[in-house]
A and B are shown apart, each in its own frame.
Chain A
């Protein structure tokens, strides 16, 4: 099993540009979560999906952020327009439907907005 795959690993962009982060979940995992890691807030949940349906997006900081899961094997997190304060590491994590199953994280995308 390849685990959760995120791309790109690093993204450097200028303020105002659109950024798209990608995630391929582990096959068979029905729940997908997007987290953002910052020094001040640790791992902050942005949005999560269950069976490709967004369940809770209350953690999405602003309308500039959007996420989609068009099918069971792909999800995107988009920031448009990006701002320097969006600089952080963004993690995708997935898990199965088994009760109390742990989250499996990808290696993250380090985003730098200049």
Chain B
């Protein structure tokens, strides 16, 4: 059972435009959400996170929005750059035990010049 879902396996955007990556979750116990970015032949790297007490968190060109009632979060990248081309993973954890992270299947973003 996939508790964290990224229904779009890929997304193509032109440089300078906005990229919107979506993520849905099913476990109502999740209270902390993260986005990771992964380049080929490298491990995922942490990008941005949001706690369930907020509905928005911004870091430079990256903004994460959380809609708890819909169990949905999104990552906005504005403006998109070719270097943003990577696989983006959404992850979630619950405030129980040791906070194990559950990841989605990833969305491959391609930003073309």
The count of chain A contact residues (Cβ–Cβ below 8 Å) is: 26
Verify B103–A35 contact, CB threshold 8 A: yes
CA distance A42 to B44 in the complex (A): 12
Known: A100-B51, A103-B46, A106-B43. A43 touches B89 (CB 8 A): yes
Tell me which of B14-22, B65-73, B92-100 binds A.
B92-100
A102 touches B (CB below 8 Å): yes
- CB contacts (< 8 Å) of B98 on chain A: these are 31, 48, 50, 55-56
**At the interface, is chain B mostly helix, strand, loop or mixed?**
loop
- CB contacts (< 8 Å) of B2 on chain A: these are 41
Verify A45–B101 contact, CB threshold 8 A: yes
Could you give, for residues 63-104 of chain A, a 1 whenever the CB lies within 8 Å of some chain B CB and a 0 otherwise? 000000000000000000000000000010100000110111
Verify A107–B42 contact, CB threshold 8 A: yes
Nearest Cβ on chain B to A83's Cβ, whole angstroms: 22
Q: Which of B58-113 contact A (CB under 8 A)?
A: 89, 91, 97-106
Verify B102–A45 contact, CB threshold 8 A: yes
Verify B100–A48 contact, CB threshold 8 A: yes
Verify B46–A42 contact, CB threshold 8 A: no
Verify A42–B105 contact, CB threshold 8 A: yes
A111 touches B (CB below 8 Å): no
B residues apposed to A, CB below 8 Å: 2, 6, 32, 34, 36, 41-46, 49, 51, 89, 91, 97-106
Closest 7 CB pairs of A and B: A105-B43, A42-B105, A43-B103, A102-B46, A107-B43, A105-B44, A50-B98
A residues apposed to B, CB below 8 Å: 4, 31, 33, 35, 39-45, 48, 50, 55-56, 91, 93, 99-100, 102-108
Q: Could you list 11 further interchain pairs (A-B, Cβ under 8 angstroms) beyond the known A33-B100, A43-B89?
A: A33-B101, A41-B2, A45-B100, A45-B102, A48-B98, A50-B98, A91-B44, A93-B43, A103-B36, A104-B46, A108-B41
Residue contacts A-B, CB under 8 angstroms, 12 given = A42-B106, A43-B44, A43-B91, A43-B103, A56-B100, A93-B43, A99-B99, A100-B51, A103-B46, A105-B43, A105-B45, A108-B42
